[in-house]
A and B are shown apart, each in its own frame.
Chain A
Amino acid sequence: MRKVLITGIASPLGRQLARRLAAGWEVCGVDTRSWPGRPRELAMHVADLRKREFEEVMRAERPHAVVHLGVRREMRRSDARNRHDLNVRGSKRLFDHCAAFGVKQLVVVSTGTAYGAAPENPLYMSEDEPLSASRSYPEIRDRVEVDALASAFVWRVPEVRTAVLRPVHVLGPHSTGMLADYLRRLRPPIVLGYDPLIQVMHEDDWAESIALSLTREIAGVFNVTGPGQVPLRTAIAEMHRLPLALPEFVMRPWIRTSFAAGLLPWPEGAIDYLKFPVTISGERFAEETGWKPLFGLRETFAAHRERRSQP
């Protein structure tokens, strides 16, 4: 069996992916956190991607393929600098190691939100649209830079077949992320007078799309979409929640001060995602791999309503 190394393996979705890939691969992983109670056959290393210790892991494991999930997503004002360094420099190091240690395949999991929410966005953007999220949302700049580094790596080092995936919002019992956490709030705040379309996919479909990228050995940049789109308010209703509708002039200062005080996980720039659509077209990925999501919209929301603690 070929060996795959997953970065960020101890994250809730990383664990799900490890279980999915275990069916056809020998799985190992790194993370800055440990994963107590992980399956016995799974080798896991606690290491920082930027440090020598990670190089040692790569040298010892010599994986055939690498899946890069190891970016920190949660936002706190206090550690913006550290997060940027961890995500951008950590990813750069990882890509260099992939080239140096003869890794054959690399899958970098970026995000569809990197395109940015803006009023002039066409619906269903292709991979050729610019990633302009950081224009009004500086805190997400590290994610955009990681995507750019990875996209350049696709062409710079063709010996490593690299796929950069930009999935839509991932929902499900284990998922965490901007929309996943937002929808779990008791009263998700919405901006009065706006109701953008959002796209979602089930976490099992997300894991499946990564597995598919590995088996089909695709290279390039790909949007990955799920079963479809709904208005934001429909998604909130599907979570059996009532939205808290605030006019923008109330919302902005509230989010700004709450974020600064550490009471809310999103900075002001995230408000645009409650106003304007970021919808992407997954045509290229579907053509290249024959991708079809298994879970429909209703099943995806139903799955997200269950919250499971980590095994």
Chain B
Amino acid sequence: MSEAERERGSAIARLVDTLTRRLPDSVRELDALVSERLARVPTRLNEYGVDRFGLEPSHAHRGLLPSAVLYRHYFRVVTKGIEQVPEGRVLLIANHAGQLPFDAAMLGVAMLLEAEPPRLARGLGEYWIPQLPFVSEIVTRGGGLVGTPENFRALIDAEECVMVFPEGVRGMNKTFRERYRLQRFGTGFVRLALETSTPIVPVGIVGSEEQQPGLWDVKPLARLLGMPAFPITPTFPLLGPLGLLPLPVKYRIHFGAPIRFEGSASEDDAAIQARVATVKIAIDKLLEAGRRERKNPFM
């Protein structure tokens, strides 16, 4: 590396420093808090500050700060029952909605800022996530993985906290008419929980279902563009990329009591479906409780 390039490298670092100093106090405090909590996440880093699953706290903190700002100042998230999340291996199962996965980000920030000790909720995502530029990088450095059974087992073996949205894109891209109606759940999570004796914590996220009211999902256009869905919302695609901004809804994240299933992972589908239903009902109850607490989606 030449001198000039070294200079330029440090110039970028200086610019970042200057920009950070210009941030409002509240954001700077949040930044310090995120760093401090990240440092306490129970995981083992190698000499380059990277853990086995690609998490790099020094890098993740940059990706997490915008989410933390949204968490505190935009979605004004309140949580309830987070102390029920047990230590060690645990599976968070939540509803999924809102066209873009802000709900996953908010659940992740909640576990980092509100849980004691701070936990990193590892996301297990769909195969197309690592294919998106920037998203791929942020997710990888934040410790997120693609949702294969091998990755799940590896995370659970390492006593990690894993969040799964069994509705997948079925939930995320549903239309406004179907808000708070849980879509079909995948069943893989129950089999894996049985196989690894992992407690399941049901999570109800209130708010995301109204953040971007989907009016219509143009499936042929989605297929053409190779995307999982092409939602039409009141603002998208009308306002272009700006239309992707969610409404300033208030988030309420309710954690339920851990569910510990007993049995074998190889039971037939009916037996597994019954357990999936148990989780679904628990989430439904949490969602109802959350909705009762609020006057309207924004307060």
Contact = CB atoms under 8 A, between A and B. Distances in A.
A194 B151 contact: no
Contacts of A275: 130-131, 136
Interface in B145-160: 145-146, 148, 150-151, 154
A242 B2 CA distance: 9
Interface stretch (A41-49, A114-122, A139-147): A114-122
B77 to A, nearest CB: 28
B187 to A, nearest CB: 20
A247 B133 contact: yes
B1 A296 contact: no
A120 B150 CA distance: 11
B141 interface: yes
A124 interface: yes
A297 interface: yes
A240 B1 contact: yes
Interface residues of A, number: 31
Interface in A35-72: none
A298 interface: yes
A231 B148 contact: no
B140 interface: yes
Given A122-B150, A241-B1, A242-B9, A194 B48 contact: no
Interface of B: 1, 5, 9, 46-48, 50, 52-54, 56, 59, 127-137, 140-141, 145-146, 148, 150-151, 154
Contacts of A122: 145-146, 148, 150-151, 154
Given A242-B9, A296-B47, A297-B48, A119 B137 contact: no
Given A123-B54, A193-B133, A242 B150 contact: no
17 contacts: A119-B129, A122-B148, A123-B52, A123-B150, A123-B154, A193-B136, A195-B137, A195-B140, A196-B140, A197-B50, A197-B140, A229-B46, A229-B50, A231-B50, A248-B133, A277-B140, A297-B46
A120 B148 contact: yes
Contacts of B53: 123
B151 A193 contact: no
B131 A119 contact: yes
A120 B127 contact: yes
A193 B5 CA distance: 21
Interface in A247-305: 247-248, 275-277, 296-298
Interface in A106-161: 119-126
Given A121-B146, A193-B137, A297-B46, 9 more contacts: A119-B127, A122-B148, A124-B150, A194-B137, A195-B136, A195-B137, A195-B140, A241-B1, A298-B47
A151 B59 CA distance: 40
A276 B50 CA distance: 17
Contacts of A240: 1
Contacts of B148: 120, 122
A228 interface: yes
A30 interface: no
